[in-house]
Structure 1
Amino acid sequence: MTTTSQTPATTPAAAPDAPAPDGAGPEGAAPQKAPPPQEQAPLRTLLSYARPHRAVLFATLLLVLAASASGLVQPLVAQHVLEVLGDGGDVTNAVLLLGALVVIGAALTGMQSWWQQRTSERVVRQVRRDTVFRLVRLRVPELDSRPTGDLIARVTSDSTLLQNAATEGLVMVANGVLTIAGAAVLMGVVHLGLLGVTVGVLLSVALVMTYLLPRIRQAVTRAQESIGAVSASLERTLGAARTVKANGAEGRETEDAGRAIEGAYQAGLVGARYAAWVKILSGVSLQAAFLAVLGVGGALVAAGELGAPALIAFLLYVFYLASPIGSLVAGLGMLQQGLGAVGRIEEVKRMPIEEDVDAPPASAPPRPAVPPAVAFENVGFSYPGRGPALRDVSYTVTGGTQTALVGLSGAGKTTMFALLQRFHEPSSGRILIDGVDIATLPRAEVRRRIAYVEQDAPVMAGTLEDNLRYAATGASAEDIAEALRVTRLDTLVERLPDGLRTAVGNRGVTLSGGERQRLAIARALLRKPEVLLLDEATAQLDARNEHALREAVDQASLRCTVLLIAHRLSTVTEADQIVVMEHGRVRALGGHGALVESDALYRELAASQLLVGEEESGADDAADEEEGVAYGPVQV
């Protein structure tokens, strides 16, 4: 019997009636947002993970019950053997039956174990698929506010706990309950009085367990949170290994991770303590039941009210209860652990995701004949818990031109790039590409039209070719060769024994800073974008490669609109337009020469980089002082 895994409910293919992207809808209509999933009871949520596999789980339960039934019959057969032996009869058939029951029970248990484990793996596979699907689509603010390692732990360790609870735990609880009920019926057949003694002992212990089991769940939740903190600490340390080593911070980082490990250890101890008490009580309950039955049953046998074979059969049932009670206790423990993990996994489902990033490539409209214009109209934006990053920003970039954004650090330049790609949404105003408000477009469409070279030029683990084709999987060999030539990576590739198949290491560690930057630029050019965003693209390039890149940008601007952020003004003096930013506002617009003449901040930036003469700068500064304009220290 098999069962098929379901497609994540959040995928576009599985949800044709999925809510429209934020901001989508008829022009002038209020943006429609998908309501967040409602939080439901953890046990109900846990059962929902098992529901798609209920047929196999039910069949598994039947096998377990069949195996348990074979065990339940064995004491009755044993009683019959003893009675026949007492009468001097032949017990051959009864012994053969007893042996057959043992073999059948073992075979059924093995088959049940295989089905159960297979279903368990299918459950965790689907849980991990669904969780990964959402994690890679989380909105940027959500990713910025949460440790990466903690999110990864939800896919790894938390899903494993849920896996055990949603399959094995449920089957064990059901098997334990049903088998105990069946044993109780047969024990009642043997002797109702002794059954009452047994139930009384077991119930008193069960009341104590109702206090202990929820504590296990709480301890597991704390332990999983601590494990997430360990993962987050390691992710931070290993992701900046050279910085850690260069600053001799191994000890501090080890201590930070050690504190998280200690938290997981302490929470694990609490859970282990409660689990130990549960095992002790379950064992004590059986021993107490055995002693009570032995005492009362022995008195009944002595009084002639109960036969010795019946007492032996009842005692065998008491011993037999050890297995279903152990199954029930272990299953309840797994359920408590799974319920602790469910909360953390379900929290991912309540995190907002970008629902509109999976548009199929075939649906993309044809490339426009001319590069699009980009316009900011009264755009404002604030990061959570901070003051405004942008204030009433307005300017227009003509299609097929170069516009440079300059200003002091923290002026809001990179924030504008983030808004343009819909990593964040403006608090006010609009951003338009080719006259269309990007808030009305799916994020997939907005990002298809834009290529972005980040300031730190991240490189993915893999080969040079993997990185080049990362955003342009269908790029031809001629396109790749051209991108390498333009960014002057062709000489590097020619020197490497494996050429484009050379591994770049984790985060591109085998490449220099300039090589990583040029690789990121080549990757962006291969996309043949309509809009090209360059954030400090020449920061780590020498003068020769900087000049080559400027030529490449000039060529790119013939077929796309270019916006670039630069602190080195030498790279933007020939830009068609320069936007001077200060404190989140547009301070001035114009060309290099005009801004040197008209804007004191730009003039000071240019003078600090020797792009204007000392006399011009000094005369202008004197004029500023006469006008009462004062500028603080400039950080470029």
Structure 2
Amino acid sequence: MFRTAHSESPTPHDWVGEITRRHLPKICGAIVLGLGAAAAGLAQPALIGQLIGVVGTDAGLFVPIIVVVGLFLGEAALTAVQAYSMGRTGERIVYDTRVALLDKLLHADVTAFGKLRHGDVQARVVTDTSLLKIALAQSLPSIFIDSAMVVGGIVLMFLIDPLLLGVTAGGLGIASAVSLLLARRLRTVAQHNRAIVGDLGSDLQRAIGAFSTVKACRAEELEGNRIGGVAFAARSSGIKVSALNAMLSPVMSIGLQASLAAVIITGMGRAATGAISAADVTAFIMYLFYLVSPLMTLFIGIGQLQQGRAAIGRINELASIPQEPSVLLPHTPAGATARHPDDVLASRDTVIYNHFGVEFQRVRFAYEPDEPVLRGVSFSVPARGLTAIVGPSGSGKTTLLQLLMRFYPVQGGRILINGENINAIPVNIVRGLVGYVQQESTTLRGTIGENLVYGENHATSTEIERALWLSGLTDVIRALPRGLDTELGESGVGLSGGQRQRLAIARMLVRRPAVLLLDEATSNLDSESELVLRNSLRRISAECTVISVAHRMSTVVDADRIVVMEAGGVRALGTHRELLAGSPLYQRLNAIQQGPAAGRGRENP
């Protein structure tokens, strides 16, 4: 659940309120237009009452009729402009909120983001933000305008006859109290409904993401029943929301009808005795009719606002996700020479051909307290050449690469690039220098070319051709009818697993990184493709740092240096030949993959 990740922040910052306040002048302008329309509407019953009073007299009717028609047209025009203005403002609020949310999510801390349910995130960004237009740009202004209409009508009705107003207030007061109670209950139910819809989106995305696995395990019915159960809960919750919404209008309608009946009976009786004129009774009844629409929309607006408040709470909660800091070190340690990262890393070529490379100094890290993954790891990687990291599963190999990418903060020790602590370098500069290819690198829907230059749109054709050649994709692309313009489906459908992996490597090579990280990057390659890539890595490692995490020992025999890890620590360092001779752990890892023949071969190297 999202709340688990942010239990320390029970009251999120009001991000939606900040965005809405930027559009406050437009909202106020629309409210002024609405109040003008309300004033034009309130003036109509009084003028119509006067017209009734002068009928049969010698007074002229032309001017009063023209005035009434003008008020009709003025009310209609102001209402139309007000509705358009609020609709436009509402769309802008939704847009600004979505853009702000996307910015928050894309710059979120990796640990915090990993705790979110992605389907629920999508529901908040897409569905919950849509409710803002109704809640903030329609319901909220409507509440102000309708309230002014109701108050103005009540005042004018009081001036006509306080007794009839008292009769009216009896029925409307009870109906209003019941409607407010329903609106409060509606907010609670709506908030629960939004949470269930988020669960539904999360579960659906889970099933779609594992579509092949679902079919392979014949779990269609299982997933259908599980997601269907959540859908049924969403249906039941949605019915409750609809029921409470549906009750608001009838409650107010009953109150209005009861009040109208009482006013007609009382008013006609008082008119018969001469206590009030027929024109005043007519004007009073017209005001009561005029109150029907604003009262109905007022309480409907209150109900919609309550639903919107539930969505606003969820949006604010998501927007409060912890952000990834650009620089982790707040100041330069005493006695150290202050060097701005731009000065150290201004030239990419300077970094590529430096002699510092990458250094891990007593690096410690744990995903969970008291469960350390890295226990004081120390080793250095030269500026050029291929360094391989091997070891049993869970030894911390991938974690080292993720720390170097600044996905997680180092909890002890430090990591240096070009002699500079990565915590003191802005994170965007670190990731511009370091290219990272994961075991299951994502291939995006779009063309091969778009995937290749993703995040690096200024890449030249020469850089693209070089990246394709180094990754062994040149012939593959030439064989495709549309070449780089070939469209790929979801998750890279259209390429084999090995081709997708080589495309991910080429995508990093286009960036010409100073350090290239390969996390099991050859795991999906066939023997021929692996040989091509191994030859390419020799060329790549001649001009930058290459660090490769591997389980397949065939991919590390050419490494200039091999780091052997176990249980979060470094157990041995050396070349393939040196480690075969002196590291029992490396011998065991090699023997597991090579079989007994490898062991016999080691006895007589």
TM-score calculated relative to the size of structure 1: 0.87
For the residues of structure 2 that align with 1:452 and 1:41, how far apart are their CA atoms? Answer: 34
Match of 1:568 among 536, 541, 552: 552
Q: Which residue of 2 aligns with 1:366?
A: 347
Counterpart AA for 2:365: F
For the residues of structure 2 that align with 1:371 and 1:190, how far apart are their CA atoms? Answer: 93
SS at match of 1:534: strand
1:222 aligns with 2:192: yes
Q: Per the alignment, do residues 371 and 510 of structure 1 end up closer, same or farther by CA in structure 2, a change over 3 Å counting?
A: farther
For the residues of structure 2 that align with 1:181 and 1:194, how far apart are their CA atoms? Answer: 16
1:455 aligns with 2:436: no
1:526 aligns with 2:510: yes
Q: CA deviation at 1:41?
A: 8.5
Q: Which residue of 2 aligns with 1:479?
A: 463
Q: Which residue of 2 aligns with 1:433?
A: 417
Residue 372 of structure 1 contacts residue 400 of structure 1 at CA under 8 Å; is this kept in 2?
no
Match of 2:150 among 170, 180, 199: 180
Residue 16 of structure 2 contacts residue 316 of structure 2 at CA under 8 Å; is this kept in 1?
no
For the residues of structure 2 that align with 1:524 and 1:152, how far apart are their CA atoms? Answer: 28
Counterpart AA for 1:366: S
Residue 607 of structure 1 contacts residue 617 of structure 1 at CA under 8 Å; is this kept in 2?
no
Counterpart AA for 1:341: A
* Deviation sequence 1:289-325 (CA, Å, 0-9, x none): 2122223223322332112221121111111101111
Match of 2:225 among 246, 251, 255: 255
Q: Per the alignment, do residues 227 and 568 of structure 1 end up closer, same or farther by CA in structure 2, a change over 3 Å counting?
A: same
Q: Which residue of 2 aligns with 1:271?
A: 241
1:555 aligns with 2:525: no
Q: CA deviation at 1:255?
A: 2.3
Match of 1:403 among 356, 375, 387: 387
Counterpart AA for 2:389: L
For the residues of structure 2 that align with 1:464 and 1:386, how far apart are their CA atoms? Answer: 44
Residue 379 of structure 1 contacts residue 392 of structure 1 at CA under 8 Å; is this kept in 2?
yes
Counterpart AA for 1:578: I
Q: Which residue of 1 aligns with 2:293?
A: 323
Residue 451 of structure 1 contacts residue 525 of structure 1 at CA under 8 Å; is this kept in 2?
yes
Q: Per the alignment, do residues 404 and 523 of structure 1 end up closer, same or farther by CA in structure 2, a change over 3 Å counting?
A: same
* Deviation sequence 1:31-60 (CA, Å, 0-9, x none): xxxxx9994797xx6554432222222221
Residue 46 of structure 1 contacts residue 166 of structure 1 at CA under 8 Å; is this kept in 2?
no
For the residues of structure 1 that align with 2:535 and 2:101, how far apart are their CA atoms? Answer: 44
Q: Per the alignment, do residues 361 and 236 of structure 1 end up closer, same or farther by CA in structure 2, a change over 3 Å counting?
A: farther
Q: CA deviation at 1:128?
A: 0.8
Q: Which residue of 1 aligns with 2:133?
A: 163
Show structure 1 runs of 5+ residues with no match: 1-35, 621-636
Counterpart AA for 1:430: R
For the residues of structure 2 that align with 1:238 and 1:40, how far apart are their CA atoms? Answer: 31
Residue 414 of structure 1 contacts residue 535 of structure 1 at CA under 8 Å; is this kept in 2?
yes
SS at match of 2:347: coil
Q: Which residue of 2 aligns with 1:291?
A: 261
Q: Which residue of 2 aligns with 1:517?
A: 501
Q: CA deviation at 1:210?
A: 2.8
Q: Which residue of 2 aligns with 1:55?
A: 25
1:68 aligns with 2:52: no
Q: Which residue of 2 aligns with 1:213?
A: 183
For the residues of structure 2 that align with 1:295 and 1:590, how far apart are their CA atoms? Answer: 103
For the residues of structure 2 that align with 1:360 and 1:197, how far apart are their CA atoms? Answer: 77
Residue 380 of structure 1 contacts residue 426 of structure 1 at CA under 8 Å; is this kept in 2?
yes
Matches within 5 A, 1:462-473: 462-473=446-457
Matches within 5 A, 1:341-360: 341-356=311-326
Residue 413 of structure 1 contacts residue 581 of structure 1 at CA under 8 Å; is this kept in 2?
yes
Residue 175 of structure 1 contacts residue 327 of structure 1 at CA under 8 Å; is this kept in 2?
no
Q: Per the alignment, do residues 260 and 360 of structure 1 end up closer, same or farther by CA in structure 2, a change over 3 Å counting?
A: farther
1:603 aligns with 2:587: yes
Residue 364 of structure 2 contacts residue 374 of structure 2 at CA under 8 Å; is this kept in 1?
yes
Deviates more, 1:289-298 or 1:114-123: 289-298
Q: Which residue of 1 aligns with 2:52?
A: 82
Q: Per the alignment, do residues 125 and 363 of structure 1 end up closer, same or farther by CA in structure 2, a change over 3 Å counting?
A: farther
Residue 194 of structure 1 contacts residue 296 of structure 1 at CA under 8 Å; is this kept in 2?
yes
Deviates more, 1:384-393 or 1:537-546: 384-393
Match of 1:424 among 383, 395, 408: 408
For the residues of structure 1 that align with 2:532 and 2:485, how far apart are their CA atoms? Answer: 25
Q: Per the alignment, do residues 106 and 267 of structure 1 end up closer, same or farther by CA in structure 2, a change over 3 Å counting?
A: same
Match of 2:99 among 129, 148, 158: 129
Residue 12 of structure 2 contacts residue 316 of structure 2 at CA under 8 Å; is this kept in 1?
no
Counterpart AA for 2:361: E
Q: Per the alignment, do residues 385 and 285 of structure 1 end up closer, same or farther by CA in structure 2, a change over 3 Å counting?
A: farther
Match of 2:75 among 73, 95, 105: 105
SS at match of 1:575: coil
Residue 46 of structure 1 contacts residue 338 of structure 1 at CA under 8 Å; is this kept in 2?
no
1:414 aligns with 2:395: no
Q: Per the alignment, do residues 529 and 178 of structure 1 end up closer, same or farther by CA in structure 2, a change over 3 Å counting?
A: same
Q: What is the aligned-residue identity percentage?
A: 37
SS at match of 2:494: coil
For the residues of structure 2 that align with 1:40 and 1:447, how far apart are their CA atoms? Answer: 30
For the residues of structure 1 that align with 2:586 and 2:325, how far apart are their CA atoms? Answer: 41
For the residues of structure 2 that align with 1:252 and 1:404, how far apart are their CA atoms? Answer: 43
Counterpart AA for 1:365: A
Residue 435 of structure 2 contacts residue 511 of structure 2 at CA under 8 Å; is this kept in 1?
yes
Counterpart AA for 2:470: V
Q: CA deviation at 1:100?
A: 2.5
Q: CA deviation at 1:83?
A: 1.3
For the residues of structure 2 that align with 1:40 and 1:226, how far apart are their CA atoms? Answer: 20
Matches within 5 A, 1:23-42: 39=11
For the residues of structure 2 that align with 1:398 and 1:522, how far apart are their CA atoms? Answer: 22
Q: How many residues align?
A: 582
Q: Per the alignment, do residues 553 and 264 of structure 1 end up closer, same or farther by CA in structure 2, a change over 3 Å counting?
A: same
Q: CA deviation at 1:345?
A: 0.8
1:204 aligns with 2:174: yes
Q: Which residue of 1 aligns with 2:216?
A: 246
Q: CA deviation at 1:178?
A: 0.8
SS at match of 1:156: helix
* Deviation sequence 1:90-110 (CA, Å, 0-9, x none): 534333332232222112211
Show structure 2 runs of 5+ residues with no match: 1-7, 328-339
Residue 90 of structure 2 contacts residue 132 of structure 2 at CA under 8 Å; is this kept in 1?
no
Residue 497 of structure 2 contacts residue 524 of structure 2 at CA under 8 Å; is this kept in 1?
yes
Q: CA deviation at 1:619?
A: 7.5
1:379 aligns with 2:360: no
For the residues of structure 1 that align with 2:388 and 2:472, how far apart are their CA atoms? Answer: 23
Matches within 5 A, 1:329-344: 329-344=299-314
Q: Per the alignment, do residues 199 and 59 of structure 1 end up closer, same or farther by CA in structure 2, a change over 3 Å counting?
A: same
For the residues of structure 1 that align with 2:489 and 2:599, how far apart are their CA atoms? Answer: 50
SS at match of 1:383: strand
Q: CA deviation at 1:246?
A: 2.3
SS at match of 1:424: coil
Q: CA deviation at 1:197?
A: 2.4
For the residues of structure 1 that align with 2:417 and 2:289, how far apart are their CA atoms? Answer: 77
Q: Which residue of 2 aligns with 1:31?
A: none
For the residues of structure 2 that align with 1:83 and 1:229, how far apart are their CA atoms? Answer: 63
Q: Per the alignment, do residues 487 and 615 of structure 1 end up closer, same or farther by CA in structure 2, a change over 3 Å counting?
A: closer
For the residues of structure 1 that align with 2:368 and 2:358, how far apart are their CA atoms? Answer: 26
* Deviation sequence 1:490-520 (CA, Å, 0-9, x none): 1111111111111121110111001001111
Q: CA deviation at 1:372?
A: 4.0
Q: CA deviation at 1:398?
A: 2.0
For the residues of structure 2 that align with 1:231 and 1:328, how far apart are their CA atoms? Answer: 32
Q: Per the alignment, do residues 37 and 232 of structure 1 end up closer, same or farther by CA in structure 2, a change over 3 Å counting?
A: closer
1:500 aligns with 2:475: no
Q: Which residue of 1 aligns with 2:428?
A: 444
Residue 47 of structure 1 contacts residue 166 of structure 1 at CA under 8 Å; is this kept in 2?
no
SS at match of 1:541: coil
For the residues of structure 2 that align with 1:611 and 1:464, how far apart are their CA atoms? Answer: 39
* Deviation sequence 1:178-235 (CA, Å, 0-9, x none): 1111111111121122122223332222222332212211222111112222221222
